Structure 1
């Protein structure tokens, strides 16, 4: 992803909705929907600036090569903290990766210092405070990425692998055990699976646990008592 065209408002580096959408791999409508659904979390001057009237026209003239304001009555400009809230709402790998890039390469700490600083001490304090905020945000990003739930494709893979493993344990889909006790075996498997991963349903597994989930499924075998029940069912088929 290319670094967006640098723009500032009131001495603060910002991104337009269009720039943010491109960076996060989504569209303007999704960004607007996220904002409208969580307006109570956003504070003007902290997370965004809203330009209207003459302020909008002045901004359009200043960045005429990057932004067109001819057909809009208002324009939202997103600060670093505003971009963080949008990444949190989208909660996709692409959005988090893009946010980390924006922090490192766009919302640069050097450009956030008071200009000109009132004193070297104030400048250093501002730099340290900003650095702490970045570390806290990155820590939150790492935590959220590590706890994101498996996506739909990963859920489908887990379900298919589980079905295959259980049917194999039953002796195949044509076996008498499959016909008689497959529901019981499936239920037992999923109970063991959810207990092991400490989740209410398999779709709640973190992405970081996806490979472990597949390994659990491949290594799973019925408990001794259930295996004996399976063998008993299938032996009836052989006797018949």
Structure 2
């Protein structure tokens, strides 16, 4: 727009905003800025009609001084202009009305709509590599678990977790499972799953028999994590802070 009285800028969402300090100067208000804004902003809603920002101004020694400012909507700017009850205020209000008309006309142009669509698509392309990289560990976890048809050892589960970004060894994983009630902590049942989680299908116990040199039979029990258990623990580590607690 020609003859720009006050700079109007757009947010990423396409909303128009004005600096409260720029409006204050244009209206030629005599009262101190902070006092003027504190009094008049009471009729408006923070974070809806205006938001707090910082603006820099160069002082006499060349240093940049940071001042409190506010980004305000066009509607609020028009209201503040009228509240000044001056000819200058009326002129500025009319200026904002024309700015709005020009903006609406521009946004209704099919060429502009296409340009906005292309801009949005370009932003998505610019971020796609980062998004893919962030999602990759979760996708690998899901694929590994979904394709698992067999139960695995706790040590193998630790390796699977570590390969996908959550570093943990077999001993620490065993400790985590014991501390959180998945495995028995002591006695003859130590490191075997508790009945609750066997019933839920997360673990199974493989029993094996061995013949001792004296001919007697010795039984051993091995804790294994089922496919359902693998899915359970993978999702738990991805969706919570458990990896921080055990890391």
Tell me the TM-score normalised to structure 1 length. 0.34
Higher relative contact order (CA 8 A, sep 6+): 1
Tell me the TM-score normalised to structure 2 length. 0.33
Give the structure with the higher percent helix: 1
| Higher CA-based Rg | 2
